[in-house]
Structure 1
C-alpha cells in the first residue's frame, strides 16, 4: 500500500499562508455529502482529487494553527484542544490512500473531518488572538445552536461531571 505523507518542509511551515477556510469547508462538505449518499455516487477520480487537495489544505493549516496556539497561555483549554487536533491532523497526513474504493472514501472522509476541525480551531484561535469574533462559536453559538464556551469551537457540556 502506498503511503502518501506530507513532506516535513511543508508541515514545518513551508507554506506562507493558510488555505482559504471557505474553500476548505466547501471541499470537506462535498466529501462528507458523497459519504452520506454512497460511494457509487462519487467518482473515484474526484474523490482522489479532493483528498489530495485536503492533504495540502491540512498541511497548510497545521503551521497556521500552531502559530496561533503559541500566542495563548500554556494552560488555556482551547489551546490544548487545538494542539490535540494538530496531533490528529499529523496522523491523518500519514494515512495512505487505500487499496480499495471503500477505503479511499473512508480516508477522504477522515481528511474532510480533520480539515473542518482545523478550520474551526484556526477561526476560533484567530479571533481570540486578534480579539474579534470570526465565527458563530465566538458569538456563543455552534452550528447546532448550542451555547459554547467563549473562544472555543466545541459546544459546552450538558452538565458538569463531579
Structure 2
C-alpha cells in the first residue's frame, strides 16, 4: 500500500496539478491570440476547446449524449479505475501505468465537468506533412500510459514485471 500511496503522491497528483495549471495558463495567455510557434514551426502553442474525445471524436454528437458518455460514463470508469488500482494487487509498473491513465483522465474530466463539456487543448506538433491533433498535459499522461501498457504486453515488459516481482 505504501507504493500505491507514494505513486499517487508523486505521479497522479503532480500530473493532475500540472495539467490544471497549464490549462489555466493557456486560457489566460493563448485564448483569442494567434498561435505561438517554436523550433521553426515544429512546436506550437495554440488555444483550442475540444468538445469531443481524442482528435475531436464525437464532437458532433448531441450535447446530452456527449455529456452522458464523456462526463458521466467516463467519470464512473475513472472512479472504478482508481478503486481498482488501490485495491487490486498490482506490480509497480502496472500501478505506474494506471496512475498515468487516471491522472490524464481525471484532468480532462475536470475540464468537461467545469468547462461546459469542453477540454482545453493548447499544444501542437508539426513535422512536415505530419501533424498531431491539439493536445494537453493530460493527453500526454494518457499516451504515456498507453505506450507503457503496450510495452508491458511485450515479452520484454513481461520479463521486466517477472524480474520485479521475483
Give the TM-score category using the shorter length: 0.3 to 0.5
Q: Which protein is bigger by CA-based radius of gyration? A: 2
| RCO comparison, higher one (Cα < 8 Å, 6+) | 2
The structure carrying a bigger strand percent of its residues is 2
